[in-house]
A = this chain, B = another copy of it.
Amino acid sequence: MMDIFNILKERRSIRKYSDKPVSHELITKVLAAGQWAPSGLNNQPWRFLVIHDQGQKEKLAGFTKYSCIIKKAPALILVFLDHQATYDRDKDLMAIGACIQNMLLEAYSLGIGTCWLGEILRRKKAVAGYLRIPANLELMAVISLGYSAEEIKKGKRHLLNTMVLGLAKKETSCPTK
């Protein structure tokens, strides 16, 4: 087994793409990776819709201020919570987060850039209406996919010791000893 820390650390949101399409085969692999996320009682509350059609992308772009990303991404994966599969909203949302993360990581390891888009959720009912999504499905995220056409940026995170209870205090007290 290989330590995948660098893959987890170096994945970035990619917002600009080349025109090169993402093959059906690779999209299917990304979706399958999402499927292997864990979920409470293994209820797998996620559902997917893949969009390649330029007309549909243009229309979806009208529902978010991040319209350029949506219009220019070669493919989109819309992720839904299925209310017929849900058993606990908090846990189901965390499971969907794990599912999305699996897809972002798999795409990255295949050389495909992604961006996890959430702002469009402010118009999720309008999106569902336009796409005629069944009433039991609630939009939770849009993932844009394509081959990167941007410089790799460095990510920023808080210092780990400020995120772990007890550690910050211990470190503060060290110099007094």
Q: Which residues of B contact A49 (CB under 8 A)?
A: 164-166
Min CB distance, A34 to chain B, in Å?
9
Contact B97 A94 (CB under 8 A): yes
Min CB distance, A108 to chain B, in Å?
7
Min CB distance, A77 to chain B, in Å?
9
Interface residues on A, range: 35 or more
- Interface hits, A105-145 → B, CB 8 Å: 105-106, 108-111, 116, 118, 121, 133, 137, 140-141
Q: Which residues of B contact A104 (CB under 8 A)?
A: 38, 98
Contact B40 A106 (CB under 8 A): no
Contact A133 B165 (CB under 8 A): yes
Chain A 45-60 per-residue mask, 1 if CB under 8 angstroms from chain B, else 0: 0111110000000000
Contact A94 B91 (CB under 8 A): no
A47-B163, A98-B104 given; 5 more Cβ-contact pairs under 8 Å: A3-B106, A8-B105, A35-B160, A37-B101, A97-B97
| 13 pairs from A and B in contact (CB 8 Å cutoff) | A8-B36, A9-B32, A9-B36, A31-B164, A35-B160, A36-B155, A37-B101, A46-B163, A47-B165, A49-B165, A90-B121, A93-B97, A94-B140
Ranked nearest first, the 10 interchain pairs of A and B with the lowest CB-CB distance are A97-B97, A94-B97, A98-B101, A93-B93, A49-B165, A4-B109, A97-B98, A101-B101, A9-B36, A48-B164
